[in-house]
Amino acid sequence: MSSASAPPVDEISSLSLTPDTTTVEESEFSQRVLIRSIISRPDGGAGLAGQTVRVGGWVKTGRKQGNGTFAFLELNDGSCPANLQVIVDEAVGQLSQLVATGTCVHLEGELKVPPVEAKQRVELRVQKILDLGTVDPAKYPLPKTKLTLELLRDYVHLRPRTNTISAIARIRNALAYATHTFFQKHGFLYVHTPIITTSDCEGAGEMFQVTTLISDAEKLEKELIKNPPPSEADVEAAKLLVTEKGEAVSQLKSAKANKETITAAIAELTKAKESLSKLEERFKLKPGIPNKDGKIDYSQDFFARQAFLTVSGQLQVETFACALSSVYTFGPTFRAEHSHTSRHLAEFWMVEPEIAFADIQDDMNCAEAYVRFLCQWLLDNCLDDMEFMVKNYDKSAIDRLRMVSSTKFVRISYTEAVAILEEASKERQFENKVEWGIDLASEHERYLTEVKFKSPVILYNYPKGIKAFYMKVNPDNKTVAAMDVLVPKVGELIGGSQREERYEVIKERILEMGLPLEPYEWYLDLRRFGTVKHSGFGLGFERMILFATGLENIRDAIPFPRYPGRADL
């Protein structure tokens, strides 16, 4: 936002509920009132009694009552975790079609205060069934009984209908919008870094390749079967024809034949030559992936070179930070690691801000403010979903959000952290030995944040040997200005650093790490021309969801998890 006028965003705070407590509006683009806008009112919707509304949703549980003269339905439309209680008389519709879990109903009815004191402050008396999507309970894969999250992963297309996955979807949505709001608020520009890349950010490998060579080869193979390539004899015959036609022209010329005859002969020669060149071209076609000098010929690939899925947008977003100062990227990233853990995905989302004129202190300030903002946002906007998570998955989830949003993060150097861990290891056994220079293991990180400080901790100034080439070398020449944010429950949530902006130093670091210079020339250009002090970090979005919700497995924190052997839909 670059002008002074107020954006219309401020309308947003008054959106969920209309100020008038006696009416509720239909959603502008669908033929129904959001259940949230009924139930989430301060009066639980009681003030709406008497109003006729349309609602739609899926039956969570349904039961016939009063000898089958009416039915109760618990209806959920995904707008909030709570259900709307619905009463349908047998005169309105065939009750047995309505009560099955998973049935979709689109209903018109009157909101009423329940006759008996109940959990619900309002219920819907149905007057008309507008649409009905039935379910055969014998075939529906998600019956009312509680299913494990693991089993639900076999039904990624239906699992959003469960309480847990829909609560996570709302929390994920809230964290995504909170992310944009935080950075926009602080003047950062959202930049879409590329998904397909020809750079390898960390030089670490384990990238997915993006190619059309295989499908092109398959197409060619089919084409060659349908339309076989010429044989060597065909080509020889065509060559012979060219020779003959050429000789014919020579003879006619030396015989001083008339112009028309010569022209006609030349035309025949040209035709023969064209035909030969086509044959020669097709003769060269070989089934399979194109090779050159024993290697795959990537000049034939879609981008005329080898291409991959990005592992991080950092290097690319730096090009925008070195021009627009404060930027961030928020998009999918990929690792082709054969990790089968509950903490790794092959496709996951990362938030990566990059700030010019900022050093490692500014970077830590930004990371801390961002994480605290996210926690406060969930408390302000997703408390009902968080209460569901507390009840079902992690008793301390809300307390953790409160603690993080209100506590200043502890900041200690890597060197101090190692001293603390060495001291601690006198009294407790770590699986991995601690000494200056090692990459801290998860157990060490969790000890610091969960046991020692009981608070988020930012570690900074790591040994340069264990960190990436682009991190700024400190004056001690032993450490780099890197920082990691550690939080209870997940350990490392954020990794960041001040970037090395000195041309000579970063060039040296690239060579020191045994990386080739050529692919980084564009990155070096940022230091060659108008270099700037800058810093940034990356937050693994699904890790943030694990941290917030207390979920155990990252495969449940993303709508469509991708991991070795699995990419459903």
Position 108 contacts a second copy (CB under 8 A)? no
Question: Contacts with a second copy in 55-94 (CB under 8 A)?
Answer: 56-59, 77-81
Rank residues 488 and 540 by Cβ distance to a second copy and give the closer one: 540
R_g of the chain computed on alpha carbons: 33
218 vs 399, which CB is nearer to a second copy?
A: 218
Q: Which of residues 547-566 bind a second copy (CB under 8 A)?
A: 558-560, 562, 564-566
Q: What are the start-end ranges of the H helices in 231-297?
A: 232-254, 259-284
Distance CA 521, CA 542 (A): 33
Q: How many angstroms separate the Cα of 86 from the Cα of each of 47, 55, 56, 137, 439? A: 17, 10, 11, 20, 57
Residues 6 or more apart whose CB falls under 8 angstroms from that of 230 comprise 238, 279, 282, 283
Token readout for 532 is 């700037």
Tokens of 297: 């010929």
SS3 labels along 443-488:
HHHHHHHHHHCCCCEEEEEEEHHHCCCCECECCCCCEEEEEEEEEC
**Under the criterion CB under 8 A, does residue 30 sit at the interface with a second copy?**
yes
CB 238 to a second copy: min, Å:
29
Query: Using CB under 8 A, which residues numbered 186 to 225 contact a second copy?
Result: 186-187, 189-199, 207-215
Distance CA 235, CA 448 (A): 75
Write the DSSP assignment of 22-50 as a string of letters: S--PPPTTSSS--HHHHHTSTTTTGGGTT
Closest distance to a second copy from the beta carbon of 28 (Å): 6
Does residue 405 interact with a second copy by CB under 8 A?
no
> Cβ distance 315 to 500 under 8 Å?
no
> Per CB under 8 A, does 372 bind a second copy?
no
The distance of closest approach from Cβ of residue 369 to a second copy in the complex, given in angstroms and rounded to an integer, is 7
Total chain residues near a second copy (CB under 8 A): 152
Report in angstroms the alpha-carbon separations of 131 from 36, 94, 128, 202.
21, 13, 9, 54
The reply on whether position 28 binds a second copy by CB under 8 A is yes
Q: Pairing mode, if any, of strands 189-190 and 326-334?
A: parallel
Smallest gap from Cβ 62 to a second copy, in A, equals 12
- Residue 414 Cβ, how far from a second copy at the closest point, in Å? 22
Interacting residue with a second copy among 75, 401, 482, 526 (CB under 8 A): 526
| Cα 465 from Cα 480, distance rounded (Å) | 9
Contact call for residues 386 and 397 (beta carbons, < 8 A): yes
Cβ proximity to a second copy: between 330 and 414 the closer is 330
Task: Tell me how far, at minimum, the Cβ of 453 lies from a second copy, in Å.
Answer: 23
Does residue 109 interact with a second copy by CB under 8 A? no
Task: State the Cα–Cα distance between residues 67 and 63, nearest whole angstrom.
Answer: 11
Residue 44 is encoded by which pair of tokens?
């639980």
Stretch that binds a second copy, among 61-69, 250-258, 351-359, 427-435 (CB under 8 A): 351-359
Instruction: Give the interface segment with a second copy, choosing from 228-236, 309-317, 412-420, 426-434 (CB under 8 A).
Output: 309-317
- Is 263 among the residues that bind a second copy (CB under 8 A)? no
**Least distance between a second copy and beta carbon 330 (Å):** 9
The verdict on 38 binding a second copy (CB under 8 A) reads no
Q: Rule CB under 8 A: which of 123-142 touch a second copy?
A: 131, 133-136, 139-141
* Strand bridging mode 52-65 / 104-112: antiparallel
Q: CB-wise, 189 or 420, nearer to a second copy? A: 189
Among 185, 253, 292, 454, which residue sits at the site for a second copy (rule: CB under 8 A)?
185
Pick the piece of the chain touching a second copy (CB under 8 A) from 66-74, 379-387, 443-451, 510-518: 379-387
* Residue 538 sits in the site that holds a second copy (CB under 8 A): no
